[in-house]
Amino acid sequence: MENRILCLVNAALMMIMLVPLSDSAQAQNVSSTPVFFVFGDSLVDPGNNNYITTLAKANFPPNGIDFPLGATGRFCNGRTVADVISQKVGVPYVPAYLNPNTQGFAILGGVNYASAAGGILDATGANYGGRISMNRQIQQFQNTQQQFIQQLGSQAANQVFAKALYFFVMGSNDYINNYLQPRSRSSASYNPKAFEALLVREYSQQLVRLYNLGARKFGVFNVGPLGCIPSQLNTRRSPDGKCIKFINEYVKGFNAALNNELSALRVRLPNATFIYGKAYDLVVARVNFPAKFGLTVVNEGCCGIGRYKGAVACVSGFQPCANREEYLFWDPFHPTDAVNEQLGNAFYSGGSSAIIPMNIKQLIAAP
């Protein structure tokens, strides 16, 4: 009799566990920690390009030499800025959308759609073959939304979307893998100011599209000083390792126009918060005052070959530098883990010299 009663109790407990939570209860469970959705390019790609046919891949050593999981597809010796921010918040690294394991419960902390060579414009990055543009990343986000709704119900899922943080690292490829490419159709069709206006207009429409899909907390990071990256120092044959001025002028124009557009969107879109990360300023400070940030080499890649290690990206068989924590750049294009940590910390809890009108920590706490 005792055993029979015990069996009945256990059966009852199992039935209780199988009863689905209400929408509000499930939303509370999911939103107890921040949910992140990341849109961008190779600066924050965690491995999406592993799953497409493209020349823009980094899923082989020595990439990932200082990352616990090894060469995952990150274009770095270690973490991306998005990884650092995840660590600061105390949540797992946001998984790549195209990873087959990114489904079910795995998506409930957020999803990363970033793709190396991807840009604001669909045509950007064609020189690498496959890539996922910003417009396609938004389509992927819509697929994720449907999965959230299936798991949580509409009401709970919509609460999650409204409270989630949306990060954007876009625009670099629209210059280095579009406008600045030899025989570029964009440069033939647009002068620099017209191209800048085209990018900002398209980017703004994409942000509004996500707002209409339920996004409310936007972290938009501007474009870094592309004239200082080893790739451009090599291509433009910098005689002294100094940044290429005209390229940085293009970027500064785009960044200023983007900042103005975000100010307009704050007024135009009710209940939306837009923060603007000053990646350009932070990287230029490290180029100009390296010792202040523990750096010794700021115009050469740690892994690569050619002038300034900027001619060929880091591939299997290359021997990277030993003192990686002293390098600004890992390869011809991307910062090292050490610099990503500095940038991530500045974006997370820094002041107005790094991010405005509030930092990520404050954005998380905002209603």
For the chain, the domains span: 33-224+245-280+345-365
DSSP code for 335? B
Whole-Å CA distances, 11 to 5, 6, 8, 19, 22: 10, 9, 5, 13, 22
What is the model's pLDDT at position 364? 96
42 flagged as catalytic: yes
331 flagged as catalytic: yes
What is the model's pLDDT at position 3? 39
16 falls in which pLDDT band (50, 70, 90)? very low
Q: Which long-range contacts (CB under 8 A, 24 or more apart) does 186-192 make?
A: 186/121, 186/123, 192/249, 192/250, 192/253
Residue 298 has pLDDT above 60, yes or no: yes
d(CA 76, CA 115): 14
- DSSP-derived 3-state class of residue 189: helix
What is the model's pLDDT at position 30? 53
pTM here is 0.91
What is the model's pLDDT at position 22? 40
Residue 100 has pLDDT above 70, yes or no: yes
**Mean model confidence pLDDT for the chain:** 92
| Residue tagged active-site, from 41, 115, 133, 334 | 334
| Residue tagged active-site, from 41, 42, 204, 231 | 42
| Residue tagged active-site, from 41, 45, 66, 331 | 331
174: phi then psi, degrees, rounded to nearest 5: -65, -20
DSSP code for 281? H
CATH of 33-224+245-280+345-365, one of 3.40.50, 1.10.8, 3.10.450, 3.90.550: 3.40.50
Mean pLDDT over residues 300-320, rounded? 96
Residue 4 has pLDDT above 50, yes or no: no
1 falls in which pLDDT band (50, 70, 90)? very low
What is the model's pLDDT at position 367? 87
What is the model's pLDDT at position 293? 98
285-298 as b/e, with b when 16 or more CB fall inside 10 Å? bbbeebeebebebb
Helix ranges restricted to H, the chain: 2-18, 23-30, 81-89, 134-152, 154-163, 172-174, 185-189, 192-212, 230-235, 245-268, 279-288, 337-349, 360-365
Asked if 119 and 135 touch (Cβ cutoff 8 Å), the reply is: no
State pLDDT tens for residues 251-268: 999 999 999 999 999 999
Q: How many CB atoms lie within 10 A of CB 162?
A: 13
What is the model's pLDDT at position 11? 33
State pLDDT tens for residues 125-168: 999 999 999 999 999 999 999 999 999 999 999 999 999 999 99
What is the model's pLDDT at position 31? 52
Among all chains, which residue has been given the structure tokens 């469970």? 29
